[in-house]
Amino acid sequence: MPVWQQSMLALWLGIAILFILLVRLWRLAHREFAEDGLLPGLTLPPMPVYSLTNDEAEPFATVFEAAEERHTVLLIVDYGCTFCREMMPIVPQLAERYSHLSIKLIIMDKSAEQARMMWSLAGRALPALRVVSDIGVVNKWRLHRFPFAYVINEQGVIVARQSVNKEKVERFLDQLLKRENEILPRRRHYAAKY
């Protein structure tokens, strides 16, 4: 085999190996970053949370306080996120339409003033708490995109999660409501039976 053919063969072999490595790297990165949020079944890690009315620290349990047998929806937003700011004007409509659900706004920001501005953009229609935003919080809660929603039960265990936006948030809440309306009667029947 002439030298130039050996060189071409080595070149194509190198390109094939490089392609395989790039595909594996892409899959690894995609798996890591496509899995937004903690998986359902895990407990939401506690974080310091602060009241937006008086800037005092609140117990983390206030995040998932809800009516008995109801889930809590956490809408997590960030002041620096354009999509989050676009979603804020519809929050009063969400609060009215889904008033029977426990929905809380978690505003991640370094500044209490910016968090209060975000809450004002939402018409102060939902209860809101502030989480000081830093890379540790983002990594602990596995938030790669905002706005994000977690649905947690009364023990703080994640039931569902989804990256939401202005268009997807109502569909997400409708699915949750449908699921709760199917599950609650069964729970009550089971509790009454035993």
Q: Residue 45 carries which DSSP code? A: P
Judge whether 93 and 87 are in contact, CB under 8 Å.
no
Q: pLDDT tens digit string along 51-64? A: 888 778 887 777 76
Q: pLDDT tens digit string along 85-113? A: 889 999 999 889 888 888 889 898 888 88
E-strand spans in the chain? 49-51, 57-58, 72-78, 102-108, 128-131, 148-152, 158-163
Q: What pTM was estimated for this model as a whole?
A: 0.70
pLDDT at residue 155 tops 70: yes
User: Which CATH topology does 49-189 take?
Assistant: Glutaredoxin (3.40.30)
pLDDT at residue 18 tops 90: yes
pLDDT at residue 30 tops 80: no
pLDDT at residue 183 tops 90: no
